[in-house]
Amino acid sequence: MSEPQRVSNFLRTIIRDDLDSGRVAEVVTRFPPEPNGYLHIGHAKSICVNFGLAREFGGRCNLRFDDTNPSTEDVEYVEAIVRDVAWLGFAWDGEVRYASDYFATLYAWAQHLVRNGLAYVCELDPEQMRAYRGTLTEPGRDSPYRDRPAEQSLELLERMRAGAIEEGRMTLRARIDMGSPNLNLRDPVLYRIKRAPHHRTGAAWCIYPSYDFAHGQEDAIEGITHSICTLEFEDHRPLYDWFIGQLPVPARPRQYEFARLNLSYTVTSKRKLRQLVEEGHVSGWDDPRMPTLSGLRRRGVTPAAIRDFVERTGVSRADGLVDLGMLEYCIRDDLDKNAPRAMCVLRPLKVTLLDYPADRIEQLTAPAHPARPELGQRTLPFGRELWIDREDFRTEANKDFKRLVAGGEVRLRNAYVIRADEVVRDAHGEIVELRCSHDPATLGRNPSDGRKVKGVIHWVEASQALDCEVRLYDRLFLDPQPDAGERSFTDNLNPHSLAVLRGCKAEPGLAALPAGAGCQFEREGYFCRDPEAGDGGAVVFNRTIGLRDTWSGSAAAKG
């Protein structure tokens, strides 16, 4: 896997110093997603940072699921996340790990805290707990159950574990400091009762650890040296360290935070992405307009482009908004260098070459990529009947129109110069056919009599053309910050984010293009073959991105 050029950042400096000083002998990181949705472009940054740093310094990275909330989690999400991480080009150390692997150990450590007077069973309900917690300017108040004897809390905790207490009736809380200016230290919840089947443990447990209690201890069990997360967990670090300091853990990991990836014209909240799916604004989590990794993959974005984008955005502790144009640049740059070329007519107009033999099919050749001779050649059938794009013909045009005009000439890409001699219309006056002639001496050369033919258009031979459906995807939102302000983010949806073109005509060789593979439709953009079939079982191509940026300078250029 080729890597983008690395840019120095504070995490690399910390790790290098830790190795040089001997604080750690080997770098061990982890990527710990919660399986309650599909991964998105923001997660890609965390994946690249954690796996990338481990690889760069010769260490290891674990893939571990934070499966501590069975009411929102599903094996579908687990499978999708495993697939996405591997697709991005990263391999985790050993088997996939789960928080549920450590439930017994975490429970024993919770009992340890109770025995040492550092945790207690509380009977405040959620509303009362919020009221007792205090505010940013006012300290919290002690729970009336805070001084409950350890033996009683241990007995109640075991009853919670055994399923003898109804959901919401009790929680286990750490006994830290209700007057702390850090609200995370005001006796946080360690365990809560949840009567929901777990996708791995079934009904074996009916109490589940909180993220704050589970996460650092899982890091310690796995020998994580650098627990790297995003800035919203910075205020949780004192709690992370408190647990590590109070428990008999086998290692002492440290937490470090970096700024999350915020991308313009994009929402990355799992809740909002789920809303888009459930309300039918998109076809699913893998809709090519979604910022999910499965959606980007289905759209034809490559792992190399995403890794390049993440490296270009850098790693810092300062929040900011990254222009979506940077991601699109990385996509175009990668596809321009690597995507093979092909021709596809999106809005077909029939061309008949009256002077070309009706029974002849000529096999022309063209490079698969203009700058990559090692990719070889492709074969282009050429015959009497062709398809050109309707937008490449006008009955009248000014001198700036460099395509085909009635009575004028144009070059067919990789083929001959043709002249439009006659326009055929239907009963409604619509143009249905062009009757043309060709210059047989212009295959691969200019006209011999010195006449200038400036325009070049794409085409497809009619009898062997691949019938296909083309889906033109664009940005899902019109506003650079769709979820900012008082309006609902769904009010900023782009009504033109998808246009479906049926009856398109492509080079016959594209029938062999595997699902998910991409190419450049010359003069149109970059496309990939969708794994699903369109109407009538037609081959479907999804537009990955246009050949050039049409959004710069206008927030609603497509509106």
The residues carrying an active-site annotation are 34, 260, 270
Provide φ and ψ at 434, rounded to 5°: -115, 130
Q: Residue 313: what residue type?
A: T
How far apart CA 81 and CA 63 sit, in angstroms, is 10
CA distance 174 to 152: 15
The three-state secondary structure class of 386 is strand
Distance, CA of 51 to CA of 508 (rounded, Å): 41
Number of residues in the chain: 559
Quote the tokens at residue 56: 């760069």
Beta strands, E only, 33-170: 60-65, 97-98, 119-122
Residue type, 548: R
Contact 350, 529 (CB under 8 A): no
Angle between helical axes of 103-115 and 211-221 (0-180°, round to 10): 110
Residue 367 is which amino acid?
P
Does residue 508 contact residue 464 with C-beta atoms inside 8 Å?
A: yes
Residue 426 burial by Cβ neighbours in a 10 Å radius (0-12, 13-18, 19+): exposed
CA atoms within 13 A on the CB side of 93: 18
The first and second tokens of residue 224, run together, are 């994580």
All residues at 6 or more sequence positions from 86 whose CB lies less than 8 Å from its CB, including other chains: none
Q: Residue 257 and residue 240: Cα distance in Å, rounded? A: 13
Contacts of 270 (CB under 8 A, 6+ apart): 36, 37, 40
Cα 28 from Cα 61, distance rounded (Å): 6
